[in-house]
Amino acid sequence: MSLVPMAWKQHIAQVNRWRTSLNPLRGLTMQRIVSHLETGERGEYLDLTWLYRFVEKRDATVRALKRLRLSAIGNCEWTAKTVPEEQLPPGATLSMAEEQAAALRAEYERIENLNEAIQHLCLAEFRGYAHLAKVYGGDYIEDGIRRLEPIDQWFFLRDGIYGEWKFNIDLQRTILNADSIDLQHWIVREVEDPIDEIALIAFMRKNMSQKDWDGFIEVFGIPAIFLIMPQGVSPDDEKKYLEVAEGIIGDGRGALPSGSDIKTAGGDVRGIAPFKDHIEYQDSQIVLAGTSGKLTMLNDATGMGSGQSNLHEDVFNALAQAEAAAISELFQRSIDLPFLSRRFPGQPMLAYFDLSQPDSDDVDAVIEHDAKLSASGRRITTGDLEERTGYQLEEHQPSVQGQGYPYPARNKALLPNRSESAAKAEENLLATARKALADAVAHDMEPIAARINQILDDSPDETLQADLKAFFDNEFPALAKAALKDPAAAEAMEGTITAAMINGAIDANAKKGEKA
């Protein structure tokens, strides 16, 4: 049966609706936080994880870290990879591995909320653990997984810090009435030192400091103002004088009788307020925990086009790469192994789920390698290209002019009345000519490409467009003229034509010999 029937989901929704009436931030003290952390060490997470939810929503630093980490993991792409051919176990073949990979890819494509499930597992970094319930497409496991249902953290208990997980559907505070779960129907990720444990204490300290800061501003933010009345004011005129003085103080302008004076008090006793430094220190502790020690996230400058913005992006990409590797291993153990064991009984595991961030340099290298191979009439297979680049490829009908490229075999139909050896020689010549011409054109354009790359590397974002326009208006004509003055492409073409003439003469002499 489906592990998460509709009635079960409806019950969870009703319990959560009741739970939302409880605000754990009301009357929150450090003593209560310590108590929640202690019960969490015993495996009772109900109040602790409910408090985590409110901290993640109310604390700007925690929310920013959460969004940045989820965004970085969202940039990762998944695929089904095969074990490298040189690492295949005895008796296994590459075709067997590719067949397993295709089946595994189809199985994951059936999961309708895979991205949501991956992001829920990422939240274990903040909350300590995350549970996904496997929802099958039919009445049996063999029907395949249709969903990986995320379940809120406060619905779980365990007997001690390393005890068995219990499903606490009625939100009991003990494990007595909780149900044991069969781990073959669940995916569970645990993190021993979650970010929210540190963020919770910092959140409390920041709020205490903010409260004191607000009180400090209320007392000392606006200095007390005193008006000194001139000498000789009669008791009858004193009341009128005070009314005029209060109006002047209220809107900050007006006139007072001669001899009046204004004094302020309190400004000299305020001193240096330590509250901002204290709050920033708590934020630094949260960032330190959330970025694995990358304090540059707070200390370094940021800005559009600045190097620090790229540095910050690199920090979260590195964190996402490590987290993606952990999630990949979890899926391999919880989904890949049981699925492949059922689908390919008796075979070793030759394919696996992989979640990772695409490396742009590697992708560019693969595409460039494929382009170079195409000059010789060979191509990387579509499956390998999709796996290595992460792109989904589609068929493209080439133009009439390029129909013979990069498939020299098609040129045979365009060359009737030719011997097989002559056609083969012409095909080899065409392939060699294409490669030589491509290399020569790249050589001619190298100075221009180098200058453009220099502009792209050195120019800030706000002046990049103007710098490129200035290059094409001022520098490009001279560089293009120099490239056309003695181009290597012309030499390559001349060599190709010469080789073609020699091959034609040899072919003609061979035919004369055959006639004789």
What pLDDT score was predicted for residue 170?
86
DSSP 8-state code for residue 89:
P
- What Å distances lie between residue 200 and 37, 56, 127, CA to CA? 10, 9, 11
Highest mean pLDDT (candidates 82-86, 228-232, 290-294, 414-418): 82-86
pLDDT for the residue numbered 301: 47
How confident is residue 258, by pLDDT bands cut at 50, 70 and 90? confident
**What CA–CA distances, in Å, run from 354 to 1, 77, 324, 388, 440?**
29, 8, 8, 12, 40
pTM: 0.63
**CA torsion angle 191 193 195 199 (round to 10):** 150
Listed range (38-52, 274-288, 427-441, 464-478) with the worst mean pLDDT: 427-441
pLDDT of residue 416: 42
Distance CA 490, CA 495 (A): 9
pLDDT at 383 over 90: no
pLDDT at residue 53 above 60? yes
| Cβ–Cβ < 8 Å for 197, 37 | yes
- The conformational region for residue 417 under phi > 0 = left, psi -120 to 50 = alpha, else beta, is left
Q: Quick check: 107 and 339 in contact, CB under 8 A?
A: yes
pLDDT of residue 422: 53
Q: How do residues 95-154 score in pLDDT, each as one tens digit?
A: 999 999 999 999 999 999 999 999 999 999 999 999 999 999 877 787 889 999 999 999
